[in-house]
Amino acid sequence: QVQLVESGGGLVQPGGSLRLSCAASGSIFSVNAMGWYRQAPGKERELVAVVTSGSSTNYADSVKGRFTISRDNAKNTVYLQMNSLKPEDTAVYYCNINYRNHNVNYVHWGQGTQVTISS
């Protein structure tokens, strides 16, 4: 059983910053990648940022230069530093882990944390 514990969401004014954290625990032999997705009302879930086991990163065009994803491998924790936030960043943010156990790859999602950008 794998658990993802997310934290750091909230309400912030445009131009502000937030830092999301997601800690993974449970039966994980190795992590292939961890990342963040988001889903705004009436829209599909979309990739925000992902970091692989080799520390490669990939960002949605809409967040490049404003968001930074990082990872603490020892703690199986991924962070998303979000700066210069805009109202269109408002969404539920979901942590995602792609991991390997007993030679099988799995994907697991967190419960989601609300991020609201409003004045």
- The answer to whether residue 68 scores a pLDDT higher than 90 is yes
How does pLDDT run across 86-114, given as a tens digit for each residue?
999 999 999 999 999 889 999 999 999 99
The dihedral through the CA atoms of 72, 7, 67, 84 has a sign that is negative
- The answer to whether residue 29 scores a pLDDT higher than 90 is no
Tell me, what's the pLDDT at 37?
Answer: 98
CA distance 78 to 2: 15
Question: CA nearest 4: which of 106, 117, 119?
Answer: 106
* Percent above pLDDT 70 for the chain: 100
- The predicted model gives 30-39 an average pLDDT of 95
pLDDT band at 73 (very low <50, low <70, confident <90, very high): confident
- If one counts every other C-beta atom within 10 angstroms of the C-beta of residue 67, the result is 21
pLDDT band at 27 (very low <50, low <70, confident <90, very high): confident
Tell me, what's the pLDDT at 96?
Answer: 96
